């Protein structure tokens, strides 16, 4: 066969392969983007959690470098409310390094609370970390700027300071969970939700977890527990891990089992994950201005 004929056959084949690959990328490999963080105020997003009283409202916040505040958004990323609060007067900006946010029960029966974790500690030298608790407000679904009064609790690790970016609320046993970030293994800690303002409590170490991978990439950056307490998520910079809780099982015992790895589009600096209110899906987003918000189905739909 002549070179000309070979080219006449080869060129259309290559073009068909290219078109097929492009179509697969656009249609089959389409990223599950639900929206984009719409405001430049949300430039270092490090946590996301679904409201329990405001439909289609999620709470997000920035990490170190921001003042004492958090935001409410809709699933498309539109900024709704900006909520300011008075934090630690020793901190220049009111907070040090808020790294995760969660929604769950609290001291008032039938009420829902937002928990904002000022738990980051890159140098691992903080004497204590702080979690701020806020009573959820229906006004946070509106386009508004407001102030809220938190109840703060200071927490110490039983085995020395740790850097952490994952904080979760177990609504079944009414426990606050913190999972450390760094190291070949990470540790799981808990504290009761029944505390008084400005208490200083020592966390209880429950178990340790090992995740395969390279240091840095496998560090744990976020977590969430579904509102029924039956599903658990942890994420690193490159993977999402998932567990289903068995009857009468502690969350830390469930997490000691081998997790399932769920779909995840690796983000620029993904440090936020949160279930939908019904637990049928979860959202992730990243640090950076106008970061996309990704939606995925949960295994338990």
145-159 residue pLDDT tens: 999 999 999 999 999
Q: What is the mean pLDDT of residues 201-216?
A: 96
- The range of the structural domain enclosing residue 146 comes to 36-297
The answer to pTM > 0.85 is yes
The mean pLDDT value of the chain amounts to 91
Cα 174 to Cα 21, 115, 163: the distances in Å are: 49, 13, 23
- 15 pLDDT exceeds 70? no
Minimum mean pLDDT among 27-31, 100-104, 206-210: which range? 27-31
Q: Which CATH number does the domain housing residue 75 bear?
A: 2.120.10.30
- 162 pLDDT exceeds 50? yes
Q: What is the mean pLDDT of residues 38-56?
A: 97
pLDDT by residue (tens digit) across 50-102?
999 999 999 999 999 999 999 999 999 999 999 999 999 999 999 999 999 99
Tokens of 158: 């039983």
Largest CA distance in the chain: 86
Answer whether residue 88 is part of any domain.
yes
C-beta separation of 270 from 237 below 8 A: yes
Tokens of 92: 């220049």
The CA dihedral of 253, 180, 231, 243, to the nearest 10 degrees, is -60
C-beta separation of 233 from 282 below 8 A: yes
- 29 pLDDT exceeds 70? no
Listed in sequence order, the DSSP H helices in the chain are 3-23, 251-255
Answer whether residue 20 is part of any domain.
no
- How crowded is residue 280: how many other Cβ atoms within 10 Å of its Cβ? 14
Instruction: Read off the pLDDT band of 31 (50, 70, 90).
Output: low
Structural domain count, the chain: 1
Q: What is the mean pLDDT of residues 279-287?
A: 98
Identify the three-state secondary structure at position 139.
helix
- 202 pLDDT exceeds 80? yes
Instruction: Read off the pLDDT band of 301 (50, 70, 90).
Output: low
Minimum mean pLDDT among 5-9, 117-121, 181-185: which range? 5-9
Better pLDDT: 4 or 84:
84
Residue 300: predicted pLDDT = 76
- 279 pLDDT exceeds 70? yes
Using CA atoms, how far apart are residues 154 and 138, in angstroms rounded to an integer?
A: 27
Indicate the DSSP class of residue 246: P
Using CA atoms, how far apart are residues 35 and 260, in angstroms rounded to an integer?
A: 26
- 10 pLDDT exceeds 60? no
Compute CA 287 distance to the chain's CA centroid, rounded to the nearest angstrom.
11
- 169 pLDDT exceeds 60? yes
Place of tokens 């979690």: 131
Tokens of 84: 């300011």
SS (H, E, C) 23-68: HHHHHHCCCCEEEECCCCCCCCEEEEEECCCCCCCEEEEECCCCCC
Using CA atoms, how far apart are residues 142 and 155, in angstroms rounded to an integer?
A: 33
Picking from 29, 71, 76, 61, the residue whose alpha carbon sits closest to that of residue 294 is 76
Answer whether residue 257 is part of any domain.
yes
Answer whether residue 31 is part of any domain.
no
Answer whether residue 8 is part of any domain.
no
Query: Is the sign of the CA dihedral 261, 266, 269, 271 positive or negative?
Result: negative
Answer whether residue 9 is part of any domain.
no
Answer whether residue 16 is part of any domain.
no
Answer whether residue 132 is part of any domain.
yes
Picking from 239, 50, 63, 42, the residue whose alpha carbon sits closest to that of residue 163 is 63
- 170 pLDDT exceeds 80? yes
Better pLDDT: 142 or 26:
142
């Amino acid at each position: 066969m002549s070179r000309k004929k070979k080219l006449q056959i080869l060129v259309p084949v290559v073009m068909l392969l290219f078109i097929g690959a492009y179509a697969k990328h656009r249609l089959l490999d389409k990223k599950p983007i639900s929206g984009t963080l719409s405001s430049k105020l949300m430039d270092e997003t490090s946590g996301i959690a679904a409201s329990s009283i405001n439909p289609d409202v999620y709470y997000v916040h920035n990490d170190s470098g921001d003042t004492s505040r958090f935001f409410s958004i809709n699933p498309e990323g539109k900024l709704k409310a900006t909520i300011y609060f008075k934090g630690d007067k020793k901190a220049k900006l009111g907070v040090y390094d808020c790294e995760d946010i969660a929604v769950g029960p609290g001291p008032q029966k039938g009420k829902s609370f937002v928990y904002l974790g000022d738990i980051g500690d890159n140098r691992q030298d903080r004497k204590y970390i702080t979690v701020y608790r806020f009573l959820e407000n229906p006004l946070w679904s509106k386009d508004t700027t407001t102030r809220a009064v938190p109840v703060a609790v200071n927490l110490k690790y039983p085995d020395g300071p740790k850097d952490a970016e994952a904080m979760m609320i177990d609504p079944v046993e009414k426990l606050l969970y913190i999972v450390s970030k760094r190291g070949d293994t990470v540790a799981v800690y808990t504290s009761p939700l029944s505390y008084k303002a400005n208490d200083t409590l020592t966390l209880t170490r429950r178990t340790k977890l090992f995740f395969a991978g390279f240091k840095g990439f496998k560090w744990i950056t976020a977590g969430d527990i579904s509102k029924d307490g039956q599903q658990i998520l942890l994420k690193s910079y490159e993977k999402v891990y998932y567990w289903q809780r068995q009857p009468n099982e502690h969350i830390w015992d469930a997490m000691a089992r081998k997790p399932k790895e769920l779909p995840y589009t690796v983000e620029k600096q993904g440090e936020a994950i949160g279930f939908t209110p019904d637990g049928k899906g979860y959202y992730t987003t990243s640090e950076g201005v106008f970061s996309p918000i990704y939606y995925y189905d949960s295994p338990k739909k």
